[in-house]
Amino acid sequence: MKIHRSADYEAMSRQAALLVAGQISARPDLVLGLATGSSPVGMYRQLTEWYRDGILDFSHVHSVNLDEYVGLSPDHPQSYRRFMQDNLFNHINIPVENTNIPNGMAEDLQAECDRYDKVISGFGRIDLQILGIGLDGHIGFNEPAGALSAGTHVVDLTESTIEANSRFFEEASQVPRRALTMGVGPILQARRIVLLASGRDKAQIIADAFLGPVTLQVPASLLQLHPHVDLFGDEAALALL
Ligand code: F6R
C-alpha cells in the first residue's frame, strides 16, 4: 500500500484527482469504480474542473458504482444515482449509458444483484476502484460480518452506518435500512484501488484496517491483501498510521 498524506481535505482531493486523471489520460476507456459519500466529493469537484479546462475527456470512460439504497428512486435527493449526477456526471461528458448504479427500486432485488454482477463481469475487471471507508470499516456497504459475499447482494445496514449517514437526511428514521452493494469480489479484483479518508473520526478505523489483523470484522482490512492500493488521507485521518 502506498500512503499519500495531505495537509487537509482539499489537498487530499487534489492528490487523488491527479492519480485518477493520470489513469484516464493513459487509458481513455478506463472502467472506473465509484463511491458516494463525503470523501470523494472534493476529488469529483477537481476532476470536473479539469474537464471544464479541457484537460480531461470522459467520453469513453465506463463507471460502476458501489452501492445504492433500497427503496430510493433515482431522483430521490439522497439516492446515490442522484448523488453521482449532482456531484459528477452532470458536469462531465461521460455518456449516461456508460454509468452503472444498482437499481434500489427493483421489484426483484436478487435479479437486480445478478444483473449488476453481469454488468461488472462484462467489463472483465474494474481498472480503478475508488473507495471510502465506513466508521465500522465497511467498503461499499460490505458491513462487518462473519462472512462476506463476493457478489452484489442486499445488505442490512449497521446502526453505525445508519447513524453516520443520517447527516444527509432530515432524521435518522428516514435513512433506508437496506442497500444493494457490490460484493468484495470485484473490489479486490480491481487492478488498482484508491481509498480516501478524511477527518479525525476516521483515524482509528484506518489504523485498524491497515495495522490490525485481516478480519471480516473490519472489511477494509482485506485491502491489506491487495497489491496496488493508494491510500489518500489528510493528517487527521492518518494520525494513527
Ligand atoms: C459509498 C460507500 C461507503 C462510503 C463510506 C464512507 O458509496 O460505499 O462505503 O464510502 O460510508 O462515507 P463518507 O465518505 O461519507 O465518510
pLDDT of residue 147: 96
Round to whole Å and give the CA distance between 18 and 14.
6
Give 44-53's long-range contacts (Cβ < 8 A, gap of 24+).
44/87, 44/88, 45/13, 45/87, 46/13, 46/14, 46/17, 47/17, 47/20, 47/21, 47/88, 47/92, 48/88, 48/91, 48/92, 50/17, 50/21, 51/91, 51/92, 51/93, 52/91
Beta pairing, strands 99-100 & 62-65: parallel
* Share of residues in the chain with pLDDT > 90 (%): 100
Residue nearest to atom 9 of ligand 1 (CA): 140
At 137, the pLDDT band (50, 70, 90 cuts) reads very high
At 165, the pLDDT band (50, 70, 90 cuts) reads very high
pLDDT of residue 42: 98
Active site residues: 67, 136, 138, 143
pLDDT of residue 163: 94
Q: What is the pTM of this model?
A: 0.98
At 23, the pLDDT band (50, 70, 90 cuts) reads very high
pLDDT of residue 241: 95
In order of 34, 176, 221, the CA distances from 13 in angstroms are 14, 28, 22
Round to whole Å and give the CA distance between 159 and 168.
15
Q: State in Å: Cα 233 to ligand 1 middle.
A: 14
Average pLDDT of the chain, as a whole number: 97
